[in-house]
Every structure is written in structure tokens, then in C-alpha cells.
Amino acid sequence: NQSRPMSLNLQMDKVELRQADVAVDARDFTTAAELVQKALVMQPDNPEALVALADVRKLQADVPAAVALYEQALKRQPDPASALRGLANALAQQGETARALALLDKAASSDPELAGKLASARAAMLSAQAEQHIQAKRLSAALQALEMAVQIAPDDPWLRHSLARLYLRLDLRRF
């Protein structure tokens, strides 16, 4: 393996990752994890493979391992959008929606291009946070979160629907 040229390792690495995607689509997460781990043997610092393995671990309900892998990928990734989205989703699965949102907001505020790539993830986190507020009967906090989500993703019809339902619930008809 070490005697192979770097370009050959990268090509084989991509093949393993494509095969892992096929395994995930077939819901064969064990095979997918094995394939991604083979890719990581060839290229241990490959952030794309680290994110792929984190995604598989999350699908296997091993969220703590997924969080660690996403964090590892973020340290190596020149374009961190996929790792940030995955990490935020994993944190939200662990009930850490506020931490996930803070992570996305910090990344988005530091890079306008990254902000665009993270817009839907940020809006989804705000929507999840709004749902938590609604369940806890903190309707004004829910309203604030949903209004911010709609500002971030104004073309999302489900966010607009959720916000409209909350307006009706609060008797705040906006014409």
C-alpha cells in the first residue's frame, strides 16, 4: 500500500467511498463502515472519508463516535460545510440543539460563502429549537426562532407553514 503512487491511492479511495454510498443506500451500514475504513487505511487524513464514516456511525446510532469523527474531519477539511452539517445534526440528536446552532452560527459568521452552504442546516436547527420551545410552552422564544429560520431560508414552505401556524396560535395575524 505504501509503495502505491499517491494518485492511485486517491483513486482507490474514491472507489471505496462510492461503494460505501451504495451500501448506505441499501441500508447495509456494516459494509459501508468497512468500505470507508478501507479508504481511511489508504488515506488516513482524508476528511471526506472521515465525514462518510461519521455519517455511517450516526446511521448506526453511535452518535458519540459520529461527533468525534466530525470534529476530526473539521480539523483537516478545507471546506468544512459537510462536516459542520453532520456534526450539528449529531449534536441535535444528542439533545444539544443550542450547541449545534451556536456551532453553525459561529462558522457562518466567519465566512459568507460558508454561511450560504449552511443556511438550510441553520434553519433546520432553529426549527428544531422552536419545536422544543413550543413543547415547553415558551411560545415567544419559539416565535423568535421560527422568524429567524424564515429569514435564513425564506423559500422553505414548511418553515413558513410552521410560522403561520404559530402566528394563528398566538392570534398574531400578519397581513
Q: d(Cα 62, Cα 55) in Å, to the nearest integer?
A: 10
Residues 6+ apart with CB under 8 A from 148: 126
**What digits encode the pLDDT tens for the residues 114-140?**
888 889 899 999 998 999 899 999 999
**What digits encode the pLDDT tens for the residues 74-94?**
888 766 888 888 899 899 888
Q: Which of 91, 79, 168, 95 is nearest to 131 (CA)?
A: 95
* C-alpha grid cell, residue 90: 449529531
The predicted pLDDT at position 10 comes to: 45
The predicted pLDDT at position 1 comes to: 42
The predicted pLDDT at position 24 comes to: 87
Q: d(Cα 47, Cα 1) in Å, to the nearest integer?
A: 19
Q: d(Cα 117, Cα 82) in Å, to the nearest integer?
A: 9
**What digits encode the pLDDT tens for the residues 25-47?**
899 999 999 988 888 888 887 88
